[in-house]
């Protein structure tokens, strides 16, 4: 090796919730992006202990999560739900570990940065050991809106989401698959996970309801948008809907900006921004769809048009893989910024 060549530092990484859909994707993305991993620890519940995964040609066994799991770990990627995060995050931080948490446990805590690296990486400088990954629908939506907001401040957002079943984890995926098979074979579909049949149906409620008539998922979009954009004045109204799609969330968005922006300028802003792609030629049947977004890192933006209600209004459609950019990829990108 050339004596002038710097040695790349490698890091000890833990994935908490390694056997879940997001955890498994975190593992593959670390390998795809050649993250400088020294030692990798896969953590899950006792029942998943011993399960094996390949990483960089090596077999790694899943270990049962416990209070001693974070010794000598530099960065831990958490994707095991809020209760696990609340139980183990402080333990991990006291062990000298930095937490990147995919749950809702810490997102709205004042001293916890809520980060989309393409939008507000500067927030990372204020972390105290815990960094929050935003809600998947919030990430997909704001990836499309951030270039516009930086050009002219967004005053209002009205969003309707079309959220894939994989956003509910492996149980959601299985529910759609089994119900679709039941219907194909002339059987009454079994409902186990969702409140209603999801095959051949839409469910206009995700998460618990709040007293204001909005679901927790809808309020996550509103509150997290204000925090990420660092703008407590922006008004957000969301309707979140579960749809019978396996992977990739889509969102129909209408915004009002302070100043009028010509549509061609909006397209240029999208085209020249990191992490998003302009897919917008509807006359030729070219627009974002979940089947195009699935497995891709970028969010796809199209159907851009002048809104017919707001004076300075823009309507658009965005699709993004909520398992990748909406969760696992965003967490790994945060880790990349940290190092």
Q: What is the DSSP letter of 281?
A: B
Q: Which residues are catalytic?
A: 136, 249
Least Cα distance to 159 among 315, 308, 277 occurs for: 315
C-alpha distances out from residue 79 to 76, 169, 245, Å? 10, 11, 22
Q: How far apart are CA 53 and CA 108, in angstroms?
A: 34
Q: How far apart are CA 31 and CA 25, in angstroms?
A: 10
38: left (phi over 0), alpha (psi -120 to 50) or beta: alpha
Cα dihedral across residues 71, 76, 78, 82: positive or negative? positive
SS3 17: coil
Neighbours of 129 (CB within 10 A): 16
Contacts of 164 (CB under 8 A, 6+ apart): 243, 245, 246, 247, 248, 249, 290, 322
Q: How far apart are CA 60 and CA 77, in angstroms?
A: 16
Contacts of 41 (CB under 8 A, 6+ apart): 12, 13, 14, 15, 63, 69, 73
Question: Which long-range contacts (C-beta less than 8 Å, at least 24 apart) are formed by 208-214?
Answer: 214/238
């Amino acid at each position: 090796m050339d004596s002038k060549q710097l040695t790349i530092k490698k890091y000890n990484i833990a994935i908490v919730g390694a056997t879940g859909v997001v955890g498994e994707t975190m593992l593959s993305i670390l390998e795809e992006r050649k993250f400088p991993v020294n030692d990798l620890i896969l953590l899950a519940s006792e029942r998943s202990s011993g399960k094996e995964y390949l990483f960089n040609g090596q077999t790694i066994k899943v270990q049962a999560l416990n209070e001693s799991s974070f010794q000598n770990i530099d960065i831990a990627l958490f994707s095991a739900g809020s209760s696990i995060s609340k139980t183990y995050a402080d333990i991990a931080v006291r062990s000298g570990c930095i937490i990147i948490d995919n749950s809702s446990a810490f997102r709205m805590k004042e001293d916890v940065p809520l980060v989309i690296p393409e939008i507000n990486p500067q927030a990372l400088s204020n972390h105290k050991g815990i960094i929050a990954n935003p809600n998947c629908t919030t990430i997909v939506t704001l990836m499309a809106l951030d270039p516009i907001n930086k050009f002219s401040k967004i005053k209002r957002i009205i969003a309707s989401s079309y959220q894939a079943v994989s956003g509910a984890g492996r149980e959601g995926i299985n529910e759609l698959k089994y119900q679709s098979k039941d219907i194909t074979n002339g059987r009454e579909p079994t409902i186990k996970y969702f409140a209603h049949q999801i095959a051949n149906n839409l469910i206009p409620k995700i998460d618990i309801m709040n007293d204001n008539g909005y679901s927790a998922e809808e309020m996550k979009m509103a509150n997290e948008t204000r925090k990420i954009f660092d703008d407590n004045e922006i008004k957000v109204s969301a309707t979140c809907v579960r749809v019978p799609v396996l992977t990739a969330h889509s969102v129909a968005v209408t915004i009002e900006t302070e100043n009028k922006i010509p549509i061609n300028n909006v397209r240029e802003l999208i085209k020249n921004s990191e992490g998003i792609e302009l897919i917008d030629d509807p006359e030729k049947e070219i627009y974002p769809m979940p089947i195009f977004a699935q497995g891709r890192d970028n969010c796809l933006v199209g159907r851009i048009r002048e809104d017919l209600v707001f004076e300075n209004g823009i309507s658009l459609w965005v699709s993004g893989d909520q398992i990748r950019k909406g969760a696992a990829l965003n967490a790994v990108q945060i880790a990349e910024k940290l190092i």
